[in-house]
Structure 1
Amino acid sequence: MDNLLSNDKFHQTVPKQFILPPEMRVPREVNCTMSLPVINLRGGSHFHVEDRDQIIEEILHAGKEFGFFQVINYGVSEQLMRDMIRVIEEFFNMSKEDKAAYYSEDTSKTNRLFSSSYLAQKDGPRYWRDCLRLASYHVPETTNDWPDKPAKLREVLAKFIVEAREVSMTLLSLISEGLGLKEGYFEGDLTSGQVIINANYYPPCPAPDLTLGLLPHCDFSLITLLLQGAVSGLEIMHQGKWVRVDPVQNALVINFGHQLEIITNGLLKSVEHRGVTNSGAARTSLAMFIMPAKECFISPAKEIVNEENLPLYKSFVFKEFLRIYGELSAKRVDVMEAFKING
């Protein structure tokens, strides 16, 4: 509980446990900013044929080139987006005593408040981030396990999850169609696992060059939706360089997880990304991970592989992937190598 950064609104120094080794730090020079593709979903899941074809083309291009894109006009109200960020901020602004009931360093617990990253080594450096991690699907079965403070958190989060998950299912349907997969390919076990919510708080950091908000990694999920908030901090790896992704008002950032890269046999990319800190403003964000069921069998899609496009990855059960992902500390090269054929 003493490591919880949100207990102190103004940090004068970076405590030694948060100082990273020099090779892991952010360079002092300012990284360039990249404008990710912004895809207009025209208000939801019902499109004219010509709009649908264009949206599919834009999604696949973004997935191949960046592994990331942003969506606007996706059917979730701007008010709900604002309410979601507001209740997260209210949670982290609660007193130390109120937050203590939810804090735990037991990594086997799904619902918990913690500092740093769940992938950080126990005796290693910590990351400049507090996180409220919640299991959130199916909503009626999980709501009572969420914090009951602040008063509106459960109500707002429950509504957001249902609507945001529908956005993810729309995107996966479009991807499936664009890749020539069978109708409903991503329904069922591939998306029936827990929806994990990471509500993140990154306080102003007095020395951003000494630490990171979140370690470089790719997501274990099928697809991830990020409500970035108004303060930038997301950086992605593009063409061998870290580049900053500035927020677009009312947009959701979308990125592909390891599972989608494997299912598409490397056609769509799961791209390394990280969270950086700043000295001027606190940053609040919410990441939503759409995952397969733990017993789900994952392999390159049969419609994609053939004699000219041989499978690159082994078949596996998702829970086995999660185990190896954790053991390898989410390092992209190591994780993907572990599942490559002849890797």
Structure 2
Amino acid sequence: MGREVPRLAPGQELQSGNSIDTATKRPEEMLISIVESGIEQVPPEFIRPPHERVSRLDSDSQGPHEQIPVIDLSMMDDEGAGKRQVLAEIVRACEDWGCFHLINHGVPALVMDAAMKATKGFFALPASEREKYRMTKIGGKGYGQAYGGQTKDWNDRLFLTDFSGEEEPKSERGAFFDLVLTNPPGAQEALETYGEAVYKLVQRTMVLVSEALGQSPEFLSTEIPLRFGTITNHYPPCPQPDLVLGLLPHEDGGIFTFLHQDEVLGLEVLKDERWVPVPPIEHAFIFMVADLLQIVGNDRFKSVTHRVLAGPIARTVMANFAVTGNDAVIQPAPELCSDLEPPAFRSVVYKDYLKMLLRDDIHAKRLEAFRLGL
């Protein structure tokens, strides 16, 4: 479990004492360093306007929740009825929820545990050590946070992959990920093993989702050239969690995401206009449909809207993204279009779509800007 900090009243105003003077601190100071200084109040640049705030008590008071589906990939051992059942469950989950828990997926538990330990170990390093890995450009590899808008999300990130499109070939960097992490000791080996195992799962899932869409195993890989990347998110303990958000409501901008949570609750997904908490399942991944799959699938599988609540206990997550190259053209697949089901979206070059993702004034439902017939 993470370190807990005192929780103050949601409406409590900032006072003198251990709060941070944001006028004198460096603007680029990372959130963990702010929290480590011993704050008792949330700095103003993290406080959400009242209409964006979410109380965990309010969220819990909505009553019993449905749970996102759980799909057992070990059923795939049977290439007959078992495989058909798994594909049918994928279809139902992607149509009804846009996400599901995946268990018995083939990534060893020891590999997952070692990678999470390495990630938490990095965020526990002294600030001087973390700073050695500071990101030099938005979307590049390293330690940083691309804050959007005037209000910041309550999290820090470590980009293992360079998402700016300028990564070195693996043969030149000599590692699976673009970032070579030499501290904490053993972290690089643990993360490399993890990345290679998760990438194999991503490739396998591209095949399964293709077949779930009624197409050949190579369908998605042909429509969207695959690129893989990982970002680790750390949500430090927050003294006033009802004033902030770990992540604003949004959809992911890739093909799909595999989320690896620690044991602390924080993720919520939107289902039928209601926010549903997603309790972690040990050694499971959360599969999340992202925007590019919704486009290529011609609106059949919906990109899931999700958010992250902050809390008094630290939380760490590894987000593994199936994305594509910047110059890839994304459009509804002709095989999934017809007179009865015409294309739902216009085509877009992925780098142009990414520019929209970085706009400060748009967070959720960004894909609607590309919908035809509006």
TM-score (norm 2): 0.84
Q: Residue 207 of structure 1 corresponds to which residue in structure 2?
A: 240
Give the root-mean-square deviation of aligned CA atoms: 2.1
Q: Residue 26 of structure 1 corresponds to which residue in structure 2?
A: 54
SS in 2 for 1:327: coil
Q: Work out the CA distance in 1 between the residues paired with 2:332 and 2:147.
A: 27
Q: Work out the CA distance in 1 between the residues paired with 2:230 and 2:362.
A: 18
Question: In the alignment, which of 100, 106, 123 is matched to residue 131 of structure 2?
Answer: 100
Q: Residue 228 of structure 1 corresponds to which residue in structure 2?
A: 261
Q: Residue 110 of structure 1 corresponds to which residue in structure 2?
A: 140
Q: Work out the CA distance in 1 between the residues paired with 2:172 and 2:346.
A: 34
AA paired with 1:241? Answer: R
Q: Work out the CA distance in 2 between the residues paired with 1:96 and 1:302.
A: 51
Q: Residue 41 of structure 2 corresponds to which residue in structure 1?
A: 13
1:184 Cα deviation from its structure 2 partner: 0.4
Q: Work out the CA distance in 1 between the residues paired with 2:266 and 2:147.
A: 19
1:189 Cα deviation from its structure 2 partner: 6.8
Q: Is 1:254 matched up with 2:316?
A: no
Aligned length: 334
Q: Work out the CA distance in 2 between the residues paired with 1:253 and 1:241.
A: 19
CA distances 1:284-314 after superposition (whole Å, capped 9, x unpaired): 1100111112111211111111001111100
Q: Work out the CA distance in 1 between the residues paired with 2:360 and 2:303.
A: 16
1:329 Cα deviation from its structure 2 partner: 5.1
Q: Work out the CA distance in 2 between the residues paired with 1:85 and 1:41.
A: 22
Matches within 5 A, 1:69-148: 69-104=100-135, 106-107=137-138, 109-115=139-145, 118-121=146-149, 124-135=150-161, 141-142=172-173, 143=175, 145-148=179-182
SS in 1 for 2:346: coil
Q: Is 1:155 matched up with 2:181?
A: no
Question: In the alignment, which of 180, 189, 192 is matched to residue 226 of structure 2?
Answer: 192
Contact 1:197 1:287 in 2 (8 A): yes
Q: Work out the CA distance in 2 between the residues paired with 1:47 and 1:16.
A: 55
Q: Work out the CA distance in 1 between the residues paired with 2:171 and 2:68.
A: 35
1:183 Cα deviation from its structure 2 partner: 3.4
Q: Work out the CA distance in 2 between the residues paired with 1:140 and 1:89.
A: 28
Q: Work out the CA distance in 1 between the residues paired with 2:359 and 2:128.
A: 33
Q: Work out the CA distance in 1 between the residues paired with 2:297 and 2:223.
A: 17
Specify whether residues 283 and 51 from structure 1 end up closer, same or farther in structure 2 by C-alpha distance, changes over 3 A only: same
AA paired with 1:70? Answer: H
Contact 1:189 1:296 in 2 (8 A): no
SS in 2 for 1:268: coil
Q: Residue 243 of structure 1 corresponds to which residue in structure 2?
A: 276
Q: Residue 306 of structure 1 corresponds to which residue in structure 2?
A: 338
SS in 2 for 1:198: strand
Structure 1 unaligned blocks of 5 or more:
none
TM-score (norm 1): 0.91
AA paired with 1:213? Answer: G
1:258 Cα deviation from its structure 2 partner: 0.1
Q: Work out the CA distance in 1 between the residues paired with 2:179 and 2:238.
A: 32
- Indicate the larger mover: 1-10 or 71-80: 1-10
Specify whether residues 140 and 238 from structure 1 end up closer, same or farther in structure 2 by C-alpha distance, changes over 3 A only: farther
- Indicate the larger mover: 220-229 or 12-21: 12-21
1:217 Cα deviation from its structure 2 partner: 0.6
Percent sequence identity over aligned pairs: 28
Contact 2:99 2:289 in 1 (8 A): yes
1:322 Cα deviation from its structure 2 partner: 1.0
SS in 2 for 1:55: helix
Q: Work out the CA distance in 1 between the residues paired with 2:192 and 2:207.
A: 23
Contact 1:40 1:72 in 2 (8 A): yes
Q: Work out the CA distance in 2 between the residues paired with 1:166 and 1:46.
A: 17
1:141 Cα deviation from its structure 2 partner: 4.8
AA paired with 1:278? Answer: G
Specify whether residues 327 and 282 from structure 1 end up closer, same or farther in structure 2 by C-alpha distance, changes over 3 A only: same
CA distances 1:30-50 after superposition (whole Å, capped 9, x unpaired): 33544211100018x754221
1:25 Cα deviation from its structure 2 partner: 0.8
Larger Rg computed on CA atoms: 2
CA distances 1:239-265 after superposition (whole Å, capped 9, x unpaired): 111121100111101101100011111
Q: Work out the CA distance in 1 between the residues paired with 2:172 and 2:262.
A: 28
